[in-house]
A and B are shown apart, each in its own frame.
Chain A
Amino acid sequence: MLEFKMPSLGADMEAGTLCEWLVKPGDKVKRGDIIATVDTQKGLIDIEVFDEGTIGELVIKPDEKVPVGTIMALIVPDKEPTVKKEEKAPVKKAEKKEEEKPTGEIPVTVILQGIKASPLAKRMATEKGIDLTTLKGSGEGGAITKADVENAIIEKMAPKEEKKVAAAESIRMAVAAAMSKSNREIPHYYLETKVDMSKALAWLSEANKQRSVKQRLLPVVLLLKAVAKALTEVPDLNGYWENGLHKKPDINIGFVISLRAGGVMIPAIHNIDKKTIDELMVSLNDIIPRARAMKLRSSELSESTITVTSLGENNAETVYGLIYPPQVAIVGFGSITEQPWAETGMLDVRPVLTATLSADHRATDGATGSRFLMAMKDYLQKPAEL
């Protein structure tokens, strides 16, 4: 029997509310199937399954709010236990997936240890399955007391009538939590470089002449592609920091999308280094509207290995990002503006992009970061190779 657990969709996620099961016991599922929708601070998320088999039991019911890591359903594996060897590969993959989402249970425990709650409150919360990190303490010095846990139990028991927090507000809180953690725990270092974009933009306008309006490329695809290529050369920036640097084999770039109502969503665009420019543009066209509508898949919210924030046209020229934990780097692109450019003793006016890197000094040093920025800059001078 395989356990299907509430996934963590980012370092800031502590719990999710099941909205709907899209499967019933007896249904066959395979890797990648969407089997449930879950309401999180980031809106309704489609949850994928990573195992193959038949749904055995749906453990939690719609409208139940459960902490990350809670068993939601049991899945009976397809194959007989005796043939398990053949199945080893997918199982391994599933395990690996879990490794990639360490944002789930580990941080929760860490927070629990440091949380200010009375011994009695902690005991009661454990017994009743209340997540103390979701409670606000009313005791002396903000400590969580028996009364706070009792209120939480009542709330848990009460029929779910609770007014839904406006999506914008809830995203604000999610961003606040993640960024506070980042600023509190990650010793950032910052690097900056200016990139002459004349070659890249010239190549782009030529390329777009051969494409229909729908297929036209935006400068950002070149930037994302250049980041991905540079990461293959400097893989230390692509990974997580969890008591040590864990480099990730896949390059899944989390792309910051700012929401009109405030807040940001950071969907992951998978394997950018392996996508062509056109495939990447298709991905972007697909994911940006879905992110704005808050209709993302769980893998898109949980699997990014580095973040890129790009301000786009007519915006500030420089942006220094805060790393999205547990990642170790964020790349920032400002607006491309015309600026005086000195080269080979001559002064010219060129379209210039300011690229920044904020990186985790626990994981890497400035030399690594600088190598990355220079590699990226180099790729942007050879757009045809991207």
Chain B
Amino acid sequence: MILTNWPGNNKTALCITLAVFKKMTDNNTIKLTYREAIKQAIREALQKDDRVFLMGEDVGRYGGAFAATKGLLQEFGPERIMDTPLSESGFVGAGIGAALGGMRPIVEVMTVNFSLLAMDQVVNNAATLLHMSGGQLNVPLVIRMSCGIGRQLAAQHSHSWEPLYAHIAGLKVLSAGTHEDARGMLLTALQDPDPVIIFEYNFLLNKEAEIPANAGAVNITKAKIRREGKDISIITYGAGVYKALDAAKELSILGIDAEVIDLRVLRPLDAATIFNSVKKTHRALLVEEAWSSVNVSSEISARITENIFYDLDAPVQRLGGVEVPVPYPKHLEDASVPQQTDIINKVKKMLQHA
């Protein structure tokens, strides 16, 4: 289960990362990598609340499979940064128990595919105990897992299981598609009395971006308009957010003014933000990496049609993952999910842009 040869494990690369990306930039913003944003969030959570602890495979001595927790063991000690055996069902269950016992555990599941081993704990315990106990037992558990493709981890470690979790009643499901959310979602999720799943994205780990120097907890109930536009609503989350923003930037050169909505919360969906946007633009393109059949976009498409059909000026369109096990070769991997150019071409077609 341990991923060797993972570039994030390279110590040299890590030191450079820390040195370069911690620097302050102008206007009270800081430039940092997605990996660093995750680490800052965990550190802040641990500092703020004694009940918070982190557990998962290789999070301690190894510094995290993706080096997101490097140094935390030294800083907070083995009681708060706990390496677990390779037993997802066991340690997710332990996390649920700790949450029931008054702790605020952060359970890291290395990659989303491993979470399938803990699915029973998530679905039958975390998501249902509040209901089964007649409202007596909250489970204030946060599960973080990395997911998505783009790092040549092949078919077994490249899943986009967001739709699977977004299907489960009793969970709150978040997707950190930006640095700001990687920095802030965890803190708010830990305040939530009920189980929260946070999806993080492998391929963003080394990407750097500027966020406010005082960035912290963020709202976890609303979708966010990342870019305002009037011609079309590109609705996406996670891995699609930066791609959609880049596509929108290029489309603006062609005179197409695209609005980009980052769903952020996949369960419960913030339908109001979606509807208001589509009522304004009258067109919706839904983008995500998950396989197209029965994904989050399917749900959004249905809700748009059910609620604001008469505001549509074109059929709702979707761009999703090609329905094959994710390929290993780089060019095939790239081809298996929507890319920036796919978004641009689709928008041009929907707008009949010559």
Contact = CB atoms under 8 A, between A and B. Distances in A.
Given A118-B313, A119-B309, A146 B282 contact: yes
Contacts of B314: 118, 139-140, 143, 145
B310 A120 contact: yes
Nearest to A117: B313
A328 B311 CA distance: 42
Contact of B350 (A122, A123, A140, A146): A140
B303 to A, nearest CB: 15
Interface string A118-162: 111111000000000000001110010110000000000000000
Interface residues of B, number: 11
B349 A140 contact: yes
B352 A120 contact: no
Nearest to B279: A120
B225 interface: no
Interface in B308-341: 309-315
Interface string B83-125: 0000000000000000000000000000000000000000000
A146 B313 CA distance: 6
B350 to A, nearest CB: 7
A60 B311 CA distance: 31
Contacts of B310: 119-120, 122-123
A152 to B, nearest CB: 14
B352 A138 contact: yes
A146 B350 CA distance: 13
A120 B349 contact: no
Contacts of B312: 118-120
Nearest to A137: B352
Contacts, number: 31
Nearest to B317: A140
B175 to A, nearest CB: 30
A122 B309 CA distance: 11
Interface string A89-101: 0000000000000
A295 to B, nearest CB: 43
A119 B306 CA distance: 12
Nearest to B349: A140
Contact of B311 (A119, A138, A139): A119
Contacts of A143: 314
Nearest to A147: B313
A293 B305 CA distance: 53
Nearest to B350: A140
A119 B314 CA distance: 8
B351 to A, nearest CB: 9
A128 to B, nearest CB: 14
A139 B349 CA distance: 9
Nearest to B305: A119
A120 B350 contact: no
B276 to A, nearest CB: 15
A144 to B, nearest CB: 10
A346 to B, nearest CB: 71
B344 to A, nearest CB: 16
A138 B349 CA distance: 12
B349 A121 contact: no
Most buried by A among B311, B313, B314, B349: B313
A146 B315 CA distance: 13
B220 to A, nearest CB: 33
B256 to A, nearest CB: 13
Interface string B171-196: 00000000000000000000000000
Interface in B263-282: 282
A119 to B, nearest CB: 5
B352 A139 contact: yes
A384 B313 CA distance: 67
A219 B312 CA distance: 61
Contacts of B315: 140
B281 to A, nearest CB: 10
Nearest to A118: B313
A118 B350 CA distance: 12
Interface in B240-289: 282
A351 B349 CA distance: 64
Contacts of B313: 118-121, 139, 145-146
A112 to B, nearest CB: 15
Contacts of B352: 138-140
Contacts of B350: 140
A138 B353 CA distance: 10
A122 B349 CA distance: 21
B284 to A, nearest CB: 12
Most buried by A among B315, B350, B352: B352
Interface string A306-319: 00000000000000
A367 B309 CA distance: 51
A125 to B, nearest CB: 12
A118 B316 CA distance: 11
A160 B314 CA distance: 31
A26 B70 CA distance: 94
Most buried by B among A119, A138, A145: A119
Interface in A248-301: none
A150 to B, nearest CB: 11
Contacts of A120: 282, 310-313
A139 B350 CA distance: 8
A140 B232 CA distance: 14
B306 to A, nearest CB: 12
Nearest to A143: B314
A143 B310 CA distance: 15
A309 B349 CA distance: 48
A147 to B, nearest CB: 8
27 contacts: A118-B282, A118-B312, A118-B313, A118-B314, A119-B309, A119-B311, A119-B312, A119-B313, A120-B282, A120-B310, A120-B312, A120-B313, A121-B313, A122-B310, A138-B352, A139-B313, A139-B314, A139-B352, A140-B314, A140-B315, A140-B349, A140-B350, A140-B352, A143-B314, A145-B313, A145-B314, A146-B282
Given A122-B310, A140-B315, 7 more contacts: A118-B313, A118-B314, A119-B313, A120-B313, A138-B352, A140-B314, A145-B313
Interface of B: 282, 309-315, 349-350, 352
Interface of A: 118-123, 138-140, 143, 145-146
Closest 6 A-B residue pairs measured CB to CB? A120-B313, A118-B313, A146-B313, A123-B310, A119-B310, A119-B312
